[in-house]
Amino acid sequence: MSPLAAGLDLFACLGEGETMSLAPGETALVPSGWAMAVPPGWEIQVRPRSGLAYKRGITIPNGPGTIDADYRGEVKVILRNSGEDAFLIEHGDRVAQLVVAPVALVHPEVVDGVDALEKSERGAGGFGSTGL
């Protein structure tokens, strides 16, 4: 909604006058009415709207969700009500934002165990091994 915004607003497409209600703790698929062809080497990320997340507890549990370059169906948003009150979605409400991003297309190579991997200074250290 602003000239330098990174995300494109995505609206609920429910049909004129139609609504959806999300009870606290409920998750639902919200249709957008959009389908798109994403070029190879790119993805579209589906992200929560910060105002809805902060003010109402409405978020995207798999956020950011990904629309792959080979997907051709309707974009639907997985919304979860983490708030304390029911949330009403009306046709035309902004429910998410889309961000276009490049992706590295990789071709995994199978090796014979972790010892076959190139060594690094960090090694197998994970989950807090480099400090908090």
Angstrom CA distances, 122 to 62, 118, 126, stand at: 29, 11, 8
- Considering the domain boundaries, does residue 76 fall inside one? yes
Considering the domain boundaries, does residue 82 fall inside one? yes
CA 30 to chain centre: 13
What pLDDT, on a 0 to 100 scale, did the predictor assign at position 1? Answer: 73
pTM of the predicted model over 0.85: no
Give the Cβ contact number of residue 33 at 10 Å. 14
Please report, for the domain that includes residue 59, its CATH number. 2.70.40.10
> pLDDT tens string for the chain (132 positions)?
788 999 999 999 998 899 999 999 999 999 999 999 999 999 999 999 999 999 999 999 998 999 999 999 999 999 999 999 999 999 999 999 999 999 999 999 999 999 999 999 888 888 888 777
Task: Tell whether 112 is covered by a domain.
Answer: no
Q: Which domain holds residue 31?
A: 8-105
pLDDT at res. 85: 97
Domain assignment present for 65: yes
For residue 83, being part of any structural domain is answered with yes
Interstrand relation of 8-11 and 27-31 (parallel, antiparallel or unpaired) = unpaired
Residue 124 is predicted with a pLDDT of 86
Based on the structure, what is the number of domains in the chain? 1
Q: Is the dihedral of CA 55, 61, 63, 69 positive or negative?
A: negative
